[in-house]
Structure 1
């Protein structure tokens, strides 16, 4: 059975000399559903010398059952978002490229742990509903395990749990 998916395009903006410390500043402007007119290759949309915008089309985003917890965390944040991972070109720091798009909070966390650049932009309401339906069907929270209060655990078990051997107290 095919996975639910959506194809999107990402708009990235570059600002020239935003302050005395930076030559360039990049930000993700929006993520929109792919249209046939966007084509399949990145293209420059606008450049007035100060602000330039590029469109990176044709990102296929599939939903995976093992990411359901990440979708749930995104949805329960209060403002569901797209997570977009992008990189500055090593040879030309005035250029950047969009690498991946996700709806999983956990996946975005893994990217950040790997020192990648990740921005987020709001998820459109129709796609929020789509993601909620998928998450409701596939996300099952781990059942909470009841911990017995220490007063109900035998003294030997308390010592074993604390890493002590026998009846001796640590020296």
Structure 2
């Protein structure tokens, strides 16, 4: 894979052009009565001009279908450097792909799984999962991992640690969250001998 700009390039945003391979597999067993097929992410590969710009069926047999979805751009954004660092420092860095099943069939007899976006950001993938999207991960090749790590090393800045205020400066509250006060004065009350 060839990035469109090097990690040191301050001009254009670093990016990679990729295509996504989705696989439809026949399910066996009791659940196959209700759901005979399952879609899974198979791979993310370098995009080639010969792929065109529309999804196409690569292979089909009784058990599987393989679909190629070209035309995705994976860009690195400076404001998500922490998400890239989290991915780059895991034991198995990878691509994250958000995909959805078509509502209606557009290129095949039945609706197919359509990738929506591809990223290398762990944080972005987490936000998609929080939004109840379908997100899958496949390992990234070593040259992409090295490209990502080089970019992260160049742009990652750890957030400065905030100085923690001493406990004596925290406002006092009672167990109900109401403001409380402390005094050093002795309470003056009426004693038994006072009239």
TM-score with structure 2 setting the length? 0.76
Identify which range, 52-61 or 87-96, moves more after superposition: 87-96
Matches within 5 A, 1:1-171: 1-21=11-31, 22-92=35-105, 94-147=111-164, 150=167, 153=168, 157=170, 159=172, 163-167=177-181
More helix, by proportion:
1
Identify which range, 89-98 or 45-54, moves more after superposition: 89-98
Structure whose alpha-carbon radius of gyration is higher: 2
Q: Distance in 2 between matches of 1:38 and 1:144?
A: 48
Aligned equivalent of 2:6:
none
Spell out, residue by residue over 1:23-73, the C-alpha distance to the aligned partner (whole angstroms, 9 max, x if none): 211111111111222222111010002100000011011111011111001
Relative distance call for 1:145 and 1:121 in structure 2 (3 A) is same
In structure 2, runs of 5+ residues without a counterpart are: 1-10, 183-195
Mapped contact 1:24–1:94 kept (Cα < 8 A) = no
In structure 1, runs of 5+ residues without a counterpart are: none
Spell out structure 1 runs of 4+ moving beyond 4 A: 160-164
Q: Distance in 2 between matches of 1:67 and 1:15?
A: 34
Q: Distance in 1 between matches of 2:51 and 2:130?
A: 32
When the two structures are aligned, how many residues end up with a matched partner?
Answer: 164
